[in-house]
Amino acid sequence: MRHPESLTGGEQLRLKAVLAHCPELDALTRHVRSFARMLAEREGERLPKWLDAVRQDDLPTLHTLAAGIDRDRDAVISGLTLPWNSGVVEEHVNRIKILKRQMFGRAGFALLRKRVLLAH
């Protein structure tokens, strides 16, 4: 689960041994690392090639992921490429959801509205 460069020498040797004995795990590791690199380096233009590579291997769980990504390919490519995100909006949505959960079954919409408007 850690970055490959942060593994100790012994851990790297054990990982190589495990991957050598399990071709499926080796392929999965390559695909996950490639996707992580694409995400970290904002290289969304590589996504179609990555999806094709995933489909060529017999990894049903990654095929499910690839199918989900393919349904909204343009949005995923934009998310992997563009520097903008909706983090600030998501923060506000989560804050409102927390307020709503705290008040569930205790008060009506009027009080919820007032708490949302008064919260910072």
Check: CB of residue 116 under 8 Å from CB of residue 96: yes
**pLDDT of 108 over the 70 cut:** yes
At 54-94, the pLDDT tens digits run: 999 989 989 999 999 999 999 999 989 998 888 888 888 99
Query: Measuring CA to CA, how many Å separate 109 from each of 22, 92, 98?
Result: 56, 18, 14
At 2-46, the pLDDT tens digits run: 788 888 999 999 999 999 999 999 999 999 999 999 999 999 999
**Number of compact structural domains in the chain:** 2
Do 15 and 52 sit in the same domain of this protein? Answer: yes
Do 44 and 68 sit in the same domain of this protein? Answer: yes
Domain containing 30 equals: 4-81
Longest CA pairwise span in the chain (Å):
62
